Chain A
Amino acid sequence: MGKVGGGVMRKAGRDVWGLALVGLSGVAVFTALGMVFLYAPREATMGDVQRIFYFHVASAWVGFFAFCVTFVASVAYLARGARRWDMLALSSVEIGLAFIAMAVISGSLWARPVWGTYWTWEPRLTISAVQLLIYAAYGMLRASVESAEQKARFAAVYGIVAFVTVPLSWFAIRWWRTIHPDVLTGGPGMAITPPMVHTLLAALAAFTLLYATLLRQRVRLERAADTLARLRLQVASEE
């Protein structure tokens, strides 16, 4: 057997694409941040607190996109049975959870001065809270199953079923009466001007890049963990 650990570590050290992606997403996030505070105008009704909107919407978008990736990867795992799809589904859930948590917390901080309360049980907020709990349970489900193959299969089925919360959350503000503003129009209490649209698009692009960077690293981590587990088994069988 060769230099097992060194192989992986050397690979990580040569990761030029990974470094380029990190740099690119860093520049994109700081550009979006600059646009939020220096380019986008102060909203007339809400004032400065409206600037939360840009990163709030971008976080929610990445959360939804991440759960969509989990859905597709879960279907692919059930169809093909390849471990790489399970790795992708798991990695995407973890990142999606962090971004949906960002969206929920920042939304609450925006709601306090605008609605007069941190939280109200209206359809969009309720579905977001349920979605957060459902995807947090994805990790618990995986931790509770011993067999790796069974774990991946159960998680894939769960990842498909849990995805129903994404369209439900998206359409909640269109199907039911709600006080949550519509991201596409800004709602009756918020006038969206072209610089605001540019800033929102920059934030969406930056967060999507950040998601791609984090996902890449997270999948590599999962792959390395698999390699280590395999090597441990090999060493144990040799002893």
Chain B
Amino acid sequence: MSAYLVAAYAVFWALTFVLVFSIWNRQRRLERDMAALQARLDGKQDDTGHS
């Protein structure tokens, strides 16, 4: 099989994975930030005695 053919299909997979990973990674970071924000809010509510 041609090395150019293998390289071309490797590029398709590599770029698709980069795109998917980039979206997944940003989503994960966002969720972590939201969890941190939630923890901060919970802490504040505990300090003021609210549930």
Given A9-B34, A55-B8, A102-B15, check contact A235 B40 (CB 8 Å).
yes
Structural contact, B40 and A5, CB atoms closer than 8 A: no
Q: Tally chain A residues at the interface, Cβ within 8 Å.
A: 42
Structural contact, A214 and B30, CB atoms closer than 8 A: no
When C-beta atoms are compared, the residue in chain B nearest to A112 turns out to be B4
Q: How far is the CA of A15 from the CA of B35 in the complex (A)?
A: 19
Report 22 cross-chain contacts, Cβ distance below 8 Å, ordered by A residue: A1-B41, A4-B38, A5-B34, A5-B35, A5-B38, A8-B34, A33-B9, A49-B2, A52-B9, A56-B8, A59-B12, A95-B19, A102-B11, A105-B11, A106-B8, A106-B12, A109-B5, A110-B8, A214-B19, A227-B34, A228-B37, A232-B37
Residues of A within 8 A of B (CB): 1, 3-6, 8-9, 12, 33, 47-49, 51-52, 55-56, 59, 94-95, 98, 101-102, 105-106, 109-110, 112-113, 210, 214, 217-218, 220-221, 224-225, 227-228, 231-232, 235, 238
Residues of B within 8 A of A (CB): 1-2, 4-5, 7-9, 11-12, 15-16, 18-20, 23, 26-27, 30-31, 33-38, 40-41, 44
- Known A113-B4, A224-B31, A231-B34; further 4 A-B contacts with Cβ < 8 A: A5-B31, A49-B2, A110-B8, A214-B19
